[in-house]
């Protein structure tokens, strides 16, 4: 008899918690990339900044009134100009980022129906990044990085009708490359949540 009560309680809990929604955000990432090039005999450290446009679809698979757990892919792609101040040299940069993250969301925009004015998220995941700098006399570079991501941030909304139920997300992230020749990435993002 005890088993039936446990099963019934579990079914009721899942019924009140489980819902599924696809949510979307877009905006920009600014990140600082650091690493080492070369081999053990001739290596050098580098640091570069990268700006990317970002699109972030996330699928909430567990929801309640004020929180959710979501699986998302904050995709990024960017073009820019890389500079080497030591050699007074410039190059063209191209980068993309393909991560997969699991987040715990609370408050504002944790679910499509949550109209709170403040909230946040934290989570972790795994990602792949690629950066290439070309057309430079001294700083041509190609790097790839695979590794874990740690992230968190806040969401700010408004009850003002002009916002239309949308919000702004401001977040920080860190990715540690674990493959040979990988780089580390630390950055921030600003997203407009639909």
Specify the CATH number for the domain of residue 164.
2.40.160.20
Please tell me the pTM assigned to this model: 0.79
pLDDT of residue 165: 78
pLDDT of residue 190: 96
Indicate whether 141 belongs to any domain.
yes
Indicate whether 149 belongs to any domain.
yes
Indicate whether 134 belongs to any domain.
yes
Indicate whether 167 belongs to any domain.
yes
State the average pLDDT for the chain. Answer: 81
Indicate whether 1 belongs to any domain.
no
**Tokens read off for 43:** 């290596």
pLDDT of 17 over the 60 cut? no
DSSP state of 127: E
Indicate whether 13 belongs to any domain.
no
Complete DSSP assignment for 57-81: EEEEEEE-SSEEEEEE--EEEEEEE
Indicate whether 130 belongs to any domain.
yes
Calculate mean pLDDT across residues 146-166: 86
Using pLDDT thresholds of 50, 70 and 90, give the confidence band for residue 16: very low
Domain count along the chain: 1
Short-list 193, 124, 183, 118, CA closest to 156: 118
Short-list 69, 78, 129, CA closest to 99: 129
Helix count and strand count (H, E) for the chain = 1, 9
Full residue range of the structural domain in which residue 123 is found:
19-193
pLDDT of 142 over the 50 cut? yes
pLDDT of residue 12: 40
pLDDT of 10 over the 60 cut? no
Short-list 75, 76, 99, CA closest to 177: 99
Indicate whether 98 belongs to any domain.
yes
pLDDT of 4 over the 50 cut? no
Distance CA 32, CA 139 (A): 16
């Amino acid at each position: 008899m005890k088993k039936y009560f446990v099963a019934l309680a579990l079914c009721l809990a899942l019924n009140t918690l489980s819902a599924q929604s696809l949510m979307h955000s877009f905006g920009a990432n600014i990140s600082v990339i650091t690493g080492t090039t070369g081999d053990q005999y001739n290596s050098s450290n580098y640091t570069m900044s990268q700006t990317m446009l970002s699109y972030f679809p996330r699928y909430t698979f567990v929801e309640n009134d004020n929180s959710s757990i979501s699986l998302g892919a904050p995709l990024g792609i960017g073009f820019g100009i890389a500079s080497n101040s030591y050699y007074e040299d410039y190059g063209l940069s191209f980068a993309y980022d393909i991560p997969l993250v699991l987040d715990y969301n609370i408050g504002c925009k944790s679910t499509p129906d949550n109209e709170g004015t403040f909230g946040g998220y934290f989570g972790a995941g795994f990602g792949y990044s690629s950066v290439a700098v070309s057309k430079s006399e001294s700083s041509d570079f190609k790097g790839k990085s695979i590794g874990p991501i740690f992230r968190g941030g806040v969401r700010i909304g408004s009850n003002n009708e002009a916002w239309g139920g949308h919000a702004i997300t401001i977040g920080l992230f860190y990715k540690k490359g674990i493959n040979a020749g990988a780089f580390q990435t630390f950055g921030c993002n600003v997203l407009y949540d639909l």
